[in-house]
Structure 1
């Protein structure tokens, strides 16, 4: 097939997307496809409108890639693409909205509040509300940024204002949620709509205090344990809830669902990533390897699943 790969982008996750794109392009070539790579930015929309390809593989992360906008553009011009559509992408990106959907369907989430931070003069009252509502420690983060960018773990009241300001630089809405300590795990989900399966659960052991940007993307920043050493019933629950979360948002083809296992051994969902990192050392390919799929096979599988339903 002739496939265009969109990568790079303009979000805070550009660097990661560059290596995701490189990996996908190489894998598609290895599988015999004719590949066009586009380092995408909104100024290049005319290039997308002129594309003459069978399919688009979106290797973007964060804003303009993962939030449904590029999917809407491709839908309008009738170009099939790999992965979730407009609504699922937008919902998954909006942490506050997706959490409402999860908790109303019985998936445990951390208690949280969202705040509109478009006007600086409201920061004082937001700070007061946060102080009255949350016990330390808690997390302040942008509602729609990925890769823990703009995130602050607030351990002392003196950090609240800075946390609001940092998160507000990345988004017009911020999310404050209780901090849940515990084991970090993630579950890749793949398959046709209604027939999705969860791949082996991965435990992430960060070298830093928590799984931040460096832990995610720097070599040796974290250790991945696949499959995670968890008892069978917890493993099954994580897999079931990951598939359910994927389906509740209406995701397609693949996603990766992040959880924290709290001190009571319960999974608390963090978020669904509709375009998880796909560098050859990323979490999703790591898990796929456990069931015998090479990186190239995995990318090919996404293409086949997308061809069969779009």
Structure 2
């Protein structure tokens, strides 16, 4: 790439700070290899002044959780007219709130596991046990519990026994005020990353997740050796095509831009059940976007360099 100055934003104050720093370091190294001048900036009270006094050609966001994915940082960049790689602030907000995104996906005809989202106040006002009983009667067991906002599977857990639900709810509520309870789908867990070439989204090869413990939780995601990845996923061509189409449809439907990642489960009938869509995919040594990019024969630095150029052109 031409000698662009790119500020890589990583860190922040979310629960996913350490993962974000790892993503940021890898992205910075990849961009330097293709000739960029890279500034590695944390997201703190000094950021706005840095952007005003030393504006880069573009910003690449390697933030996970909180302000990095809910549209807050993107909104500030838009206010300052700083070009950045990634989804606009408004569309970040749509994807960040899992129940909202799932509702949009379901309305469009895409499959997503049945769910209910309930705030902490509902359990307190109506009685936790009564609400939990109604939840199980409707969705059955096992259930996947997760915070309604957030990533890296923080607070997410599978509950197979009704007696374990209260403790699991308390654990989940440590990360958010609202719990998303989702029918647990048994099947093959797959992630499909989408990147844009000259404005047209394309799906990278689907990555199959084979977690040693059977659940792709925080430990399985970020502990080397805890998960085996297969790219492309070990599924037949028809299912692989359906996965790619679902990822592209989700990317377009939610108004995402430049890069995204769809997490899904392929059930016993071969249907793609979309779990969520991420606007800031991880870039660590165990993250799936770099795995898919390598499988497609695309260098990570070159991929992001092209996205930086698009961001500059938009700006």
**102-111 vs 276-285, which deviates more?**
276-285
- In structure 2, the partner of 1:35 is 38
Residues 6 and 37, structure 1, Cα contact 8 Å, conserved in 2: yes
1:232 aligns with 2:240: no
Could you tell me the TM-score, scaled by structure 1's length? Answer: 0.94
Residues 83 and 314, structure 2, Cα contact 8 Å, conserved in 1: no
Q: How does 1:225-264 map to 2 (within 5 A)?
A: 225-264=230-269
**175-184 vs 272-281, which deviates more?**
272-281
1:217 aligns with 2:217: no
In structure 1, distance between residues paired with 2:55 and 2:47: 15
Q: How does 1:268-279 map to 2 (within 5 A)?
A: 268-279=273-284
- In structure 2, the partner of 1:133 is 138
Residues 193 and 252, structure 1, Cα contact 8 Å, conserved in 2: no
Point out where structure 2 has 5 or more consecutive residues left out of the alignment: none
Count of aligned residue pairs for this structure pair? 310
Tell me the secondary structure at the aligned position of residue 115 of structure 1: strand
1:91 aligns with 2:94: yes
Q: CA deviation at 1:282?
A: 2.0
Q: Deviations over 1:131-166 (max 9, x none)?
A: 432311111110001011111211111111112211
- In structure 1, the partner of 2:182 is 177
- The correspondence for 1:57, drawn from 39, 57, 60, is 60
Q: How does 1:1-310 map to 2 (within 5 A)?
A: 1-41=4-44, 44-118=47-121, 121-122=124-125, 124=128, 125-192=130-197, 195-310=200-315
Residues 192 and 252, structure 1, Cα contact 8 Å, conserved in 2: no
Point out where structure 1 has 5 or more consecutive residues left out of the alignment: none
Tell me the secondary structure at the aligned position of residue 242 of structure 1: helix
In structure 2, distance between residues paired with 1:193 and 1:11: 32
Residues 61 and 85, structure 2, Cα contact 8 Å, conserved in 1: yes
In structure 2, distance between residues paired with 1:163 and 1:30: 44
Could you tell me the TM-score, scaled by structure 2's length? Answer: 0.93
Q: CA RMSD in A?
A: 1.8
